[in-house]
Amino acid sequence: MIPIIDVKNLKYSYKNGKIILDIKEFIVNKGEKIFLFGPSGCGKTTFLSTLAGIIPAHEGSLKVFGTEFIGAKTSVKDRIRGSQMGYIFQMFNLIPYLNVLDNILLPTKLNPKKREKLDNHALLIKCKEIAKALNIEHIFLKKANEISVGQQQRVAAARALLGSPKLIIADEPTSSLDAEAREMFLENLFAQCDAQKTTLIFVSHDKGLAKFFPRQIALPEINRAQI
């Protein structure tokens, strides 16, 4: 079996040259749900951004769906991210003046591969299915800046799930929710991931969520960089 993510001796530094990531090994297999945690500033977002090919790591090996990302062209990484991954950003990255439905559909407009060969009608049905599971169907026509933070987080999750990505990377997607809403959000996300056989890498500094995940990894334990 080819791992979905296969990291060996990965190094990353920002322009100032300070090494932020120095990871000997990190392997993620298909269908896993991984909880990646660590204190603020330990490199979680940086690590996720390298895995998604948003920022380029320069040293070591980072294979994503079998493709080597180190030294790969931006277009290759963009294609893999666009067609195989859903990314839930820390700040959600919703477009405030678009309504909920258009925000969810946005990646399918930007990246035709996310459409799974669905026509507009089928896409809308799929979108409604996911929105229903995440309990945001009733706010489809509201603008993103008119809904609550918890609703925005679920819209961001729906957007990442549409297109049945093989991998979801979620960066602190529950940080603005209270404990009850957080667990509900996780339950919904897990159900959707199970239904679509999606692998999940979920980052949080909230260790209370760790118990819900079959595998937990403390980033400082696998990261040799002294930040």
16 lines the binding site for ligand ATP (CB under 6 A): yes
Interface of this chain with ligand ATP, residues 146 to 165, rule: CB under 6 A: none
Please name the residues in contact with 188: beta carbons below 8 A apart, sequence gap of 6 or more.
Answer: 133, 134, 135, 154, 157
Cβ distance 108 to 117 under 8 Å?
Answer: no
Of 31 and 220, CB closest to ligand ATP: 220
C-alpha to C-alpha distance for 167 and 14, rounded to whole angstroms: 25
DSSP string, 135-163: T-GGGTTSBGGGS-HHHHHHHHHHHHHTT
45 lines the binding site for ligand ATP (CB under 6 A): yes
Contact range with ligand ATP by CB under 6 A, out of 34-42, 60-68, 71-79, 104-112: 34-42
Rounded to the nearest whole angstrom, what is the least distance from the CB of residue 175 to ligand ATP in the complex?
9
42 lines the binding site for ligand ATP (CB under 6 A): yes
Interface of this chain with ligand ATP, residues 169 to 208, rule: CB under 6 A: 205
How far, CA to CA in Å, does 91 sit from each of 14, 88, 109, 110, 185? 21, 8, 21, 20, 16
Cβ distance 181 to 149 under 8 Å?
Answer: no
Rounded to the nearest whole angstrom, what is the least distance from the CB of residue 43 to ligand ATP in the complex?
4
Of 45 and 176, CB closest to ligand ATP: 45
Binding residues for ligand ATP, rule: CB under 6 A, are: 14, 16, 20, 38, 40-46, 205, 227
